[in-house]
Amino acid sequence: MDAFKLMKELRVNYEQEVYYLPKETGLTLIESTTQDDSRISAKCRDAKVEDLWSLTSFFGYSTQTFVLAVNLLDRFLATIRIQPKHLSCVSLSCLHMAAKVTEEECNMTPTEELIRIGQCKFTVSDLSRMEKIITEKLNFKSKAITALTFLHLYHQITLSHSTDRKDTLSLEKLEAQLKACLCRLSFSKAKPSILALSLLRQEIEAVQSEDMLEIACLIQRHLKIADGELLLWSERVAQCLSEYASPECSKPNHRKLRWIVSRRTARNLHSYRGVPELPTIPEGCWDESESEDSCEDVMSSGEESLSSSLGSDAEGPFFSLHHRHQTQRQHLHP
């Protein structure tokens, strides 16, 4: 795609991204929820997103599938109040919906296997009904504009204009860093275009390419992104990646998930036990004045977390020592 078409597509996506953002009021209420509360907390949400990262990697799904699943999950959680016991069904439904949109049919994981390896305690019927609820509440068709949308466009534009070596800016590394950011609810408040540009600038500064940095500045001016807003999210991205790269941050081994539930083992697992069918979730949006949850009891809680086995791109060269010093920077290059 030529430069003019890329910039045109960039502008169109920039104008439409607002329609795919989670409600900020809902995200704020999730952030204010404590672990002892009967509603979803930020920590609970983040752990479930890490589970989605594990499953995405295990089944060989694309980054696009993971990012779309997180987008659907956050938009739903910011709209409908649910109890923690329902979160596994909601999150896995979002992953399944995303996979149906982004993956080839031959690569799709059977629903029964998805539930079994996801270590969940609900039925295929439950999952199907939850997907319908999510689709209706979000008016979901077949796409969403996410930070990955902009990351791909920025990467293409940068490489098409840069005279530096093309392999110095790794899209795979940028995608892995985006996944790490999406595991924190706070980044769901960022506009996708700004989050993606913050990641791009972090990596350009890491490879020390003045040519690419100038292109990033041109993109910022083209979209009329304010310096202050970009600086704010760039600092948060730097802090996130710095903490993620530190030895204090526990980044469990992806091989652990393969050892526990390898494909061979999964095929031999007995069928999951039957559970009561999922009742319809009553309508009910986030409301600070309401004290009771809008969802009725559905399934037994207690599913184990898979977040101890993040995707294989959750560690290694994608989170270098460079990011440990990024938070000390107080300004962007002009």
The model's pLDDT over 113-153, given as tens digits with 9 standing for 90+, comes to 889 888 888 899 999 999 999 999 999 988 899 999 999 99
Predicted pLDDT of residue 268? 52
Closest to 158 in 3D by CA, of 3, 334, 323, 331: 3
Predicted pLDDT of residue 178? 96
Please report which confidence band the pLDDT of residue 285 belongs to, taking 50, 70 and 90 as the band edges: low
In three-state form (DSSP H/G/I as H, E/B as E, the rest C), the secondary structure along 111-160 is HHHHHHHCCCCCCHHHHHHHHHHHHHHHCCCCCCCCHHHHHHHHHHHHHH
Predicted pLDDT of residue 2? 78
Please report which confidence band the pLDDT of residue 263 belongs to, taking 50, 70 and 90 as the band edges: low
Q: Does 71 score more than 80 pLDDT?
A: yes
More confident residue, 332 or 79: 79
More confident residue, 247 or 277: 247
Predicted pLDDT of residue 121? 84
Q: Does 279 score more than 90 pLDDT?
A: no
CA torsion 69-75-79-82 (nearest 10°) is: 30
Q: What is the mean pLDDT of residues 74-93?
A: 93
Predicted pLDDT of residue 331? 43
Q: What is the mean pLDDT of residues 219-243?
A: 94
Sign of the Cα pseudo-torsion (118, 120, 123, 128, in order): negative
Please report which confidence band the pLDDT of residue 154 belongs to, taking 50, 70 and 90 as the band edges: very high
Predicted pLDDT of residue 192? 97
Contact 96, 127 (CB under 8 A): yes
Q: Does 272 score more than 60 pLDDT?
A: no
Please report which confidence band the pLDDT of residue 311 belongs to, taking 50, 70 and 90 as the band edges: low
More confident residue, 36 or 241: 241
Predicted pLDDT of residue 235? 95
Show the tokens assigned to 22: 């989670």
Show the tokens assigned to 11: 């502008």
More confident residue, 270 or 157: 157
Q: Which amino acid is at 306?
A: L
Closest to 158 in 3D by CA, of 149, 168, 145, 148: 168
More confident residue, 323 or 212: 212
Please report which confidence band the pLDDT of residue 224 belongs to, taking 50, 70 and 90 as the band edges: very high
Residues in contact with 8: Cβ distance below 8 Å, sequence separation at least 6, in sequence order = none
Rounded percentage of the chain residues whose pLDDT exceeds 70: 72
Predicted pLDDT of residue 134? 95
Please report which confidence band the pLDDT of residue 297 belongs to, taking 50, 70 and 90 as the band edges: very low
Q: Does 197 score more than 60 pLDDT?
A: yes
Whole-prediction pTM value? 0.79
